[in-house]
A and B are shown apart, each in its own frame.
Chain A
Amino acid sequence: GQQVMQIPQYQHVQEGEDFTTYCNSSTTLSNIQWYKQRPGGHPVFLIQLVKSGEVKKQKRLTFQFGEAKKNSSLHITATQTTDVGTYFCAGLDLNTGNQFYFGTGTSLTVIP
């Protein structure tokens, strides 16, 4: 079955430092989405990437979809305490179904 792995599992950064989480799929993906889950909260949709090599930005967040559509990354520039939470990628492989499979998540702690 489809597997979506994320690294690192945990990351502690000093406020103002940059942060990157990487998402890797065992299969080629049609689309990839990113979600943020604040502590005690539920996942909230951030963005969807569809095209090979696509790069999208949301303020300090940069999302990238790999050329082979098997990996993706989320980069946060100059982290703030409001960035704390767990970031999940979710991949859609139309060969295995019509639902997105969620990655294992990266938990980000920002030290003020």
Chain B
Amino acid sequence: GAGVSQSPSNKVTEKGKDVELRCDPISGHTALYWYRQRLGQGLEFLIYFQGNSAPDKSGLPSDRFSAERTGESVSTLTIQRTQQEDSAVYLCASSPGPQQGGYTFGSGTRLTVV
């Protein structure tokens, strides 16, 4: 597609439920990144994919967080047993390669855990 697409744009879930966030990167972009942004805060790195492998998972906050990527396409970020502190905007970005060009961000998924 023309840009990075994320769905859903908004998600309200009850504490303890699992959620799945989806990211569709720009076609041909091999690198894909997930960030978390709490209200009024900076971007917290979560995980980076090169193709369908994840060379760096160091930012995942706990074992409740996992992510996968199918080929060089869609990625899903799964949060199990959501907690209130998981409430944030989850941003996905893609780039042509790991060090190539700027990141193109999607509009994000705003997750609210009640």
Binding site for B on A (CB under 8 A): 1, 30-31, 33, 35, 41-48, 88, 90, 92, 94, 97-105
Query: What residues of B have a CB within 8 angstroms of the CB of A41 in the complex?
Result: 107
- Footprint of A on B, CB under 8 Å? 31, 33, 35, 42-43, 45, 48, 50, 55-56, 58, 91, 93, 98-99, 101-108
Quote the shortest CB–CB distance from A33 to chain B (angstroms).
6
14 contacts between A and B (CB under 8 A): A31-B99, A33-B102, A42-B91, A42-B108, A45-B101, A46-B102, A47-B102, A97-B55, A98-B56, A98-B99, A99-B33, A99-B98, A103-B42, A105-B43
Chain A residues positioned under 8 Å from B108 (CB to CB): 42
B99 contacts A44, CB within 8 Å?
no
Q: Which residues of A contact B99 (CB under 8 A)?
A: 30-31, 92, 94, 98
| Residues of chain A contacted by B31 (CB below 8 angstroms) | 98-99
A47 to B101 CA separation, bound complex (whole angstroms): 9
